[in-house]
Amino acid sequence: MTRRVDSRDVLDPNGRTSRAFAARVVGHYRRVGPNAWDDYELLTAAGGHLRVTAGIKIQVEDCGARFRLRRRGQVLLAEWTPSDAERAAAAEAGLDLHPAFIQACVEDYASPPGVGLAAVVAKKLKDSD
């Protein structure tokens, strides 16, 4: 199965890992053409296991405990593999894997704010005086 993704959207971090955890690789994204702006396609494959450390920027998927991260120049699609204790705690709290993953392993992430258009215009006008 392949799924195409625009090059601008292949990794758009919306979270940061709050702690280290285990995950398994579900697939990876590969550029369709030779140019940096070409689309990417998701190649699903049973991958190995990896240890995700705290503080990594990730893109959390909309369902399940899946997320994207960059590793060794490649964008991987991975899935959190909770321990039996974490799985039991989520079930006891009535949480599916997606909210349990976010609660246990993800903290909010926001890109640093940029300078607004009004500030740029004001600076240009001030510098031209």
Q: Of 1-5, 8-12, 20-24, which gets the smallest average pLDDT?
A: 1-5
Segments in 1-129 forming alpha helices (H) = 84-92, 97-105, 117-128
Best CA proximity match to 30, nearest among 59, 4, 60, 58: 4
Q: Which residues contact 104 (CB under 8 A, 6 or more apart)?
A: 19, 21, 82, 86, 90
Buried b (16+ CB within 10 A) or exposed e, 92-102: eeeeebbebbb
Mean pLDDT of the region 42-71: 91
Query: Contact 41/1 with Cβ under 8 angstroms?
Result: no
Between 112 and 73, where is the model more confident? 73
| pLDDT, tens digit (0-9, with 9 covering 90-100), for 30-44 | 988 888 888 899 988
Which percentage of the chain shows pLDDT scores above 90? 39
**pLDDT at 110 exceeding the cut of 70:** no
**pLDDT at 50 exceeding the cut of 60:** yes
**pLDDT at 112 exceeding the cut of 60:** no
Q: Model-level pTM?
A: 0.77
Q: For the chain, give every domain's residue range.
A: 2-128
